[in-house]
Structure 1
Amino acid sequence: MARFTHEVPMRWSDMDAYRHVNNSAYFAYLEQARVAMFFHRHESFSAGTVISRHEIDYLRPIVYHPQPLSLQLWIDRVGGARFTIEYEIWDGTVLAARAATTCVTFDFAANRPRRLTDEERGILATYADEPA
């Protein structure tokens, strides 16, 4: 399967006083794509995952238009209780940003991280990026 692609519409309110999409809106775009990738398709992840880190490199400003942004997501690193999602945010044919999110599987009853299950590892493997 490799990369997962999800289209995310922009909202007029995502723009700021500098007339480009505000940096805080990017986190919502990442979240929408991540939820589409996992939680709408794989119920096991909805039971306990938290975010431990976000990174974003802004490459080009985005100005509101009615066409959705295209986000490509893939899994880069998998550890015992964590995994990293990499993203590219495309504004048409222009790469506007690159991002990464570190997710930790979490046991809310015990209030601590938990190890990834074999089922979860299998799901993550289907989103591993194909070598160029």
Structure 2
Amino acid sequence: MESFSHLVEVRWSDCDANQHVRHNAYADFCTHARIEWLRAHGFGFDQFQKHGFGPVIFKESTEYYKELKMSERVSVVVRIAGLSADGSRFRIRHDLCKEDGRPAALHEISGAWFDLRQRKLMQPPAELLAIFSALDRTEDFAEIPLKQA
């Protein structure tokens, strides 16, 4: 299994009136980290267009631990928390950590792959499933049953 971590810097536009990171910026950081993880493994936006599909998110949640402020650098570690046998369903966990290593937040998404032409859920191409299969898994990783779909 391989690990993936992406460093982001908190920008002015990521902050709210309380002078800390607004809640939905955490999701943006995690989305960016996932895109960078896939791109680093040769599955960028052009591959999604070529195959005519993309992710659909069913559930998203965030637990906040430490306040983040402008100009801080945040490490986003991407791990697989759940995957169906055919790769069609996934759960991804993101651990956001401050520069000193203290946890700032935990963000998790659950989703599936969506065929943009047929407008239905689908299995991913083999090369994408291989990328998901190679990523570090969480301690509580669980296979997602297909019958829940």
Normalising by structure 1, report the TM-score: 0.86
5+ residue gaps, structure 2: 140-149
Distance 1:57 1:130 in 2: 16
- Kindly provide the CA deviation profile for residues 69-128 of structure 1, in whole angstroms up to 9, marking residues without a partner as x: 111001121114111111100111210000111231111111000023433322111103
Name the SS for the 2:7 alignment partner. Answer: strand
Deviates more, 1:38-47 or 1:75-84: 38-47
How much is the aligned-residue C-alpha RMSD, in angstroms?
Answer: 2.0
**Which amino acid letter does the alignment assign opposite residue 123 of structure 2?**
R
Which of residues 112, 124, 127 is equivalent to 1:119? 127
**Which amino acid letter does the alignment assign opposite residue 136 of structure 2?**
A
Name the SS for the 1:34 alignment partner. Answer: helix
Which of residues 87, 99, 108 is equivalent to 2:116? 108
Aligned to 1:4: 4
1:41-120 correspondence to structure 2 within 5 Å? 41-43=41-43, 46=48, 47=51, 48=53, 49-65=55-71, 67-79=72-84, 80=86, 81-92=88-99, 93-120=101-128
* Equivalent residues, number: 130
Normalising by structure 2, report the TM-score: 0.77
Distance 1:18 1:107 in 2: 40
5+ residue gaps, structure 1: none
Identity across matched positions, percent: 23
